[in-house]
Amino acid sequence: MPQGKGTYGNQVGRPPMARKGMKVVKKGDKASKLTILNKSVMVDPPKGFHWMEERGRYFLMKGDYKPHPGAVSKAKFKLASHES
């Protein structure tokens, strides 16, 4: 990834779409064919990584789990189905 002012390696120069992040799938969204279920699953991180939670979203961080701000041992994800 390019580095420096005005490039993708810098928050200042990122295009608006890159700053917005992932599109949220909302219940009842016409473009979405997913049905969000009232179930969730707890997911262990891959070996050598741990989960970080920030503003309700999960990220993988390299290194085994050790308690520190934002670190969680398992990530909780909602389940979805393609069925209506």
- 8 Å CB contact between 44 and 74: yes
Q: Which residues contact 56 (CB under 8 A, 6 or more apart)?
A: none
Q: Do the bridges between strand 49-54 and strand 57-62 make them parallel or antiparallel, or are there none, so unpaired?
A: antiparallel
Euclidean distance between CA atoms 77 and 51, whole angstroms: 12
Per-residue pLDDT tens over the stretch 69-83: 999 999 999 999 987
Per-residue pLDDT tens over the stretch 28-54: 556 568 899 999 999 999 999 999 999
